[in-house]
Amino acid sequence: MSVTTTANPTTYNLQTVLADYELHHSEEHSSARDHLEIHNPSEWPTNHRRIPPYRPVNTELDQTQRRVYLNGVERAFVAVMFTGVFVNANLARLWRKTGGRIWDIGYRIGGEW
109 in any annotated domain: no
86 within some domain: yes
The average confidence (pLDDT) of the chain is: 76
Torsion angle in degrees (nearest 10) through CA of 83, 88, 89, 90: 90
Q: Which residues does 57 contact at the CB level (< 8 Å), separation at least 6? A: none
Task: Encode pLDDT of 49-87 as tens digits.
Answer: 777 778 888 888 888 888 888 899 999 999 999 999 999
Domain-located, residue 61: yes
Neighbouring residues of 98: CB distance < 8 A, sequence distance ≥ 6: none
Type and span of the H or E element at 31 = helix 27-35
Tell whether 4 is covered by a domain. Answer: no
Range of the domain at 43: 9-99
Instruction: Tell which wins on pLDDT, 44 or 79.
Output: 79
The total number of structural domains in the chain stands at 1
Q: Is the per-residue pLDDT at 29 higher than 60?
A: no
Can you give the pLDDT at residue 17? 64
Q: Would residue 29 count as lying in a domain?
A: yes
Residue 66 CA to residue 63 CA, distance in Å, equals 5
pTM over 0.85: no
